[in-house]
Amino acid sequence: MLYTQATIITVNANRDIIQDGAILVQGSKIANIGKTEALLKLYPEEEVTALEGRIIIPGLVNAHMHTAQTLLRGTADDLELVSWLCERIWPLQGNFTPKDGYAAARLSIAEMLKSGTTCFLESMFADRYGFDGLCRAVEESGIRGCLGKIVMDVGTYASDPKWAMHPGLVENRETSLLGAVDMHKKWNGKADDRIRVWFGARTPGGVSEGLYKEMTSISREQNIPITMHCAEAPADRTFFESQGHTAMSYCDSVNLLGPQTVLVHMVHLDDSDIKTLAETGTHIVHCPSSNTKLASGICRVPDLLEAGVSVTLGTDGAPCNNTCDMLQEMRLAGILHKAARMDPTSVPAETVLETATINGAKALGLADSVGSIEKGKKADFVVLDMRAVHLQPWFNPVSAVVYSATGRDVEIVLVDGKEVAKSGKLTTMDEESIWKEAEWRSKEVVKRAGLTSAVGARWPVQ
């Protein structure tokens, strides 16, 4: 297929933007890229999709996602973190079945694909959700998934007994760590190498130091990357201080830091932590919607970027964001730090797009194949239809994407050279069956958890 007449934001090394550009896709890869006129002459026999008035961007990389939680969208709005976690989310997740986990994964993936995410990092998929079902959902949908299976052995948050996990979520070394190793053997590289299996470690305080060290040792021996929440809430800082550490000195003490580790949230950091992140090449994920909605604080993204830390972007889960739309996440990432710093030049649109594309690909170890639109890379890209009143006029295509567009403007999505969405509709999944099953399964989970009356409208319903 030859895609023509579009404005192409390549995010290549030179950050080229091609007007009236064209992309030739052959098999799973980009075979050529250039001006429309030149490629039409080179490939006169190719089938053409004309895309005048559209912008093409690399497929978005959602570097932090809880696929199970999309089934719980709207069940814990406007709560502070302890209540949100201990009274709602953990009890609900502790009542999941593997069929619920599969339905939730399908719902998450459908929403991500429709809104331009072609690759995601699942952070902590619990054993009770059915890891095989998550992998099947990735395989069937055509998306690219790095899938973190939970690693834990302590049933509290930050070692605080008042933050006790629901019993249905507590796992031991054998189920979590060794189970993740088993799933890596079974699924890593499957679905035409679209599936990668990771360790999804719980926050410090939810994992013993011995298990962390065992996990990091296996990670290096078997090349299994690690993702972990860290320094998200004030309680995390309290925990690190109780151990005689800062956030990063603690992580360093259990061998967590390095280019194969992706740390999430990273709100409560000292200057020394930022220096350590830069020196070790550890990646971090910024989740502005989650951090603002749960009032966790504001990640020091400008300071991290200035220090040379690799910063990526993630939506987090639907109960603390309410959407899996990375385009909306980009907009908030681009405006939040301007207000926090009283500096409108802070974190410009171009930097935001990098966090959601090439930086995400680097963090996931996939930058050789995805994250930018270049000859020889995988054909993972997104077509945005800019022919709409809410998108016109535009002058800088990057600004238009970051500040104006949302997932509803996505027209075509390619992963591995296949159109997984066309005309704004999925081609690999039955959307209606997905949302209908999610609708009734979510109610069943709420009922099992005994929270039916707690999650409804707060105003009187007639």
List the one residue out of 332, 343, 278 whose CA is nearest residue 304.
278
CATH code of residue 272: 3.20.20.140
The dihedral over CA atoms of 56, 59, 60, 61, expressed in degrees to the nearest 10, equals: -160
148 in the same domain as 35: no
**3-state class (DSSP) for residue 29:** strand
pLDDT given at position 83: 86
Cα–Cα distance, 55 to 6 (Å, whole number): 6
Q: 122 and 200 in contact (C-beta within 8 Å)?
A: yes
User: Given 329, 363, 397, which residue is the final one in a domain?
Assistant: 363
332: domain range? 60-363
235 within domain boundaries: yes
Query: Looking at residue 14, what DSSP letter applies?
Result: T
Write out the chain's pLDDT in tens, 462 residues.
999 999 999 999 999 999 999 999 999 999 999 999 999 999 999 999 999 999 999 999 999 999 999 999 999 999 988 789 999 999 999 999 999 999 999 999 999 999 999 999 999 999 999 999 999 999 999 999 999 999 999 998 877 777 889 999 999 999 999 999 999 999 999 999 999 999 999 999 999 999 999 999 999 999 999 999 999 999 999 999 999 999 999 999 999 999 999 999 999 999 999 999 999 999 999 999 999 999 999 999 999 999 999 999 999 999 999 999 999 999 999 999 999 999 999 999 999 999 999 999 999 999 999 999 999 999 999 999 999 999 999 999 999 999 999 999 999 999 999 999 999 999 999 999 999 999 999 999 999 999 999 999 999 999
* 438 in Cβ contact with 429 (< 8 Å): no
Write the single-letter amino acid at 116.
Answer: G
Structural domain contains residue 390: yes
Taking CA atoms, 307 is separated from 4, 255, 278, 288, 358, in Å, by 39, 21, 6, 20, 18
Q: Distance between CA atoms of 188 and 422, rounded to whole angstroms?
A: 28
Same domain, 100 and 40: no
Residue 25 backbone zone (phi > 0: left; psi -120 to 50: alpha; other: beta): beta
Confidence at residue 224, expressed as pLDDT on a 0 to 100 scale: 98
Angle value at C-alpha 143, between 142 and 147, nearest 5 degrees: 125
Same domain, 47 and 64: no
Return the pLDDT at 50: 98
Indicate whether 354 and 419 sit together in one domain: no
**436 falls within a domain:** no
One domain for residues 309 and 344: yes
- Asked, for residue 456, whether it belongs to a domain, the answer is no
d(CA 48, CA 399): 28
* Closest by CA position to 117, among listed 406, 374, 386, 348: 406
Q: What is the dihedral of CA 436, 442, 448, 454, to 10 degrees?
A: -130
Position of tokens 């991290």? Answer: 304
User: ω before 460 within 30° of 0 (cis)?
Assistant: no
Note the pLDDT of residue 162: 78
CA distance 287 to 323: 12
Q: Are residues 8 and 81 in the same domain?
A: no
Domain assignment present for residue 27? The answer is yes
pTM greater than 0.85 (yes/no): yes
pLDDT the model gives residue 454: 95
Contact 428, 144 (CB under 8 A): no
- Note the pLDDT of residue 366: 98
* CATH number of the domain to which 403 belongs: 2.30.40.10
| Token reading at 336 | 């939040």
Mutual angle of helices 209-222 and 179-187, in 10-degree steps: 20
- What is the Cα–Cα distance from 215 to 354, expressed in whole angstroms? 30
Statement to judge: residues 267 and 315 lie in one domain: yes
Q: Is residue 454 part of a domain?
A: no
Task: Write down the pLDDT at residue 159.
Answer: 75
If asked whether residues 318 and 387 sit together in one domain, one would say: no
User: How many domains would you assign to the chain?
Assistant: 2
Q: Are 41 and 87 in contact (CB under 8 A)?
A: no
Q: Among 363, 396, 413, where does a domain finish?
A: 363
User: Would you say residue 154 lies in a domain?
Assistant: yes
DSSP β-ladder status, 117-125 and 60-65: parallel
Find out whether 267 and 231 touch, Cβ atoms under 8 Å: yes
> Both 161 and 107 in a single domain?
yes
